[in-house]
Amino acid sequence: MAILVSETKVEAVQADITREQLDAIVNAANCSLLGGGGVDGAIHRAGGPAILEACRLLNGCDTGDAKITTGGRLPAKYVIHTVGPVYRDGKHGEPELLASCYRRSLEVALENGVKTVAFPAISCGVYGYPHKEAASIAVNTVKAFVQENNGLDLVRFVLFNGELFSVFEQVLDVVA
């Protein structure tokens, strides 16, 4: 499923983000940026030690912020690391922090000349964010950003499993 927002293609695919051949992929990282489970662990494993070495120099990352490193051995030139919120009940700033992850990642992308970027479903794994709500925040934040900012050719949501892919596809269909 794909939509065109201003001059930017926004789409959802079911795939492995570590195999994306785009300018940058986004890592759903923890605050240390030193690797972890899920998407974070997969990116660090696939990208090799260059990513970890670059992350060590960044002194961590706050929830809702984003920082960029090399892509190491990944097909993507860059990895943009962002720290999503742990979902409690949606009343402790989680929606604003999750939106900030997407917005800051796109800002960092543009600051570094990135034209194509892939996102995972930030905070939808062990951080427990409800999938439909997270997808709505992700898609609407990306849509608003690309309407206000030129320079991105493609924003792709790369979902590892069919359930998440289906949820993102439904949200994209609604905002189209």
- Give 68-111 pLDDT, tens digit per residue: 999 999 999 999 999 999 999 999 999 999 999 999 999 999 99
Structural domain boundaries, residue 160:
2-175
pLDDT at residue number 103:
98
Whole-model pTM over 0.95: yes
Mind telling me the catalytic residues? 40
- What mean pLDDT comes out for the span 126-133? 97
pLDDT at residue number 170:
97
Is residue 176 over pLDDT 90?
no
Separation CA 141–CA 163 (nearest Å): 21
Number of domains in the chain: 1
CB-CB contact of 123 with 40 (8 Å): no
Pairing of strands 78-83, 66-70: antiparallel
| Model pLDDT for residues 5-55, shown as the tens digit of each residue | 999 999 999 999 999 999 999 999 999 999 988 999 999 999 999 999 999
Residue at token pair 């696939």: 46
The enclosing domain of 159 has a CATH number of 3.40.220.10
